[in-house]
Amino acid sequence: MEAAAHRRLIVALDFPAPAPALDLARRLAGRIGMVKVGSELFTAAGPAVVRQLAEMGWKIFLDLKFHDIPTTVAGAVAAAGRLPGVRLLNVHALGGLAMMRAARAGLKRSRHRPKLVAVTVLTSHDADSLRRCGIVGPPQRRAVALARLAQRAGLDGVVCSARELARIRKVCGKRFLTVVPGIRPAGAARADQQRIATPAAALRAGADYLVIGRPITRARDPLAATEAIVAELKAALTGRI
């Protein structure tokens, strides 16, 4: 998928209340492609904040990472798909093939069917933290295997780190959507993220969408931080860096 640099950028509105999220969304209007509502904001503010963002004209990535038995996930995905403005939503690939197929079936009646993607391996995991969960081997190999499973279930794409992106592209093809968090501009704090990449590196590796939270939301000047990232993406797309 080819889209203008700023449209590839999704900003994670990870706030504990709707006011700061809506305020930042207002300031970002026209500058990025989508906003992300995750479990923190959704738990605090519920579907109302999604409706408010949709009324402002935003396309929304509803990042609730469902992971439950197939029937429950099908119902949750169906409810999410009925919310206005939701263009992208996700489940955990570790929920398995039947769960992902049920999730896809849950979207059948949605009028504007959002794209459904699966989280492969959280970008906050490294090999050691995966091993402690009983999952042995490099995170990359696990992420590629889960991407294949998501594709087999009929999902539109995956959430993955930039590290395994090229391999997933090769195995799952060009049209398989890739959404990449764990993005850190050079010099930004890594915080709890492990498998990170710069915006330019993620784009060059083939990301359709980049998800960025704290490097923007915690910046002293979030608009300036956004503009700097968009400039980096433009330069990467035109081969200037």
Q: Alpha carbon 157 to chain centroid distance?
A: 10
CB nearer to ligand C5P: pick between 109 and 194: 194
State whether residue 147 is helix, strand or coil.
helix
Q: Is 65 among the catalytic positions?
A: yes
Piece of 42-50, 117-125, 141-149, 197-205 that binds ligand C5P (CB under 6 A): 117-125
Token representation of residue 223 = 């608009």
Kindly give the pairing relationship between strand 209-212 and strand 60-66. unpaired
Residue 38 binds ligand C5P (CB under 6 A):
yes
Residue 208 binds ligand C5P (CB under 6 A):
no
Near ligand C5P by CB under 6 A: residue from 99, 118, 122, 146: 122
Give yes or no for a contact between 82 and 88, defined as CB atoms under 8 angstroms apart: no
DSSP label at residue 85: T
Binding mask 51-90 for ligand C5P (x = CB under 6 A): ------------x---------------------------
Angle at 15 between CA 9 and CA 19, to 5 degrees: 100
Name the site residues for ligand C5P (rule: CB under 6 A). Answer: 12, 14, 38, 63, 119, 122-123, 159, 181-182, 193, 211-215
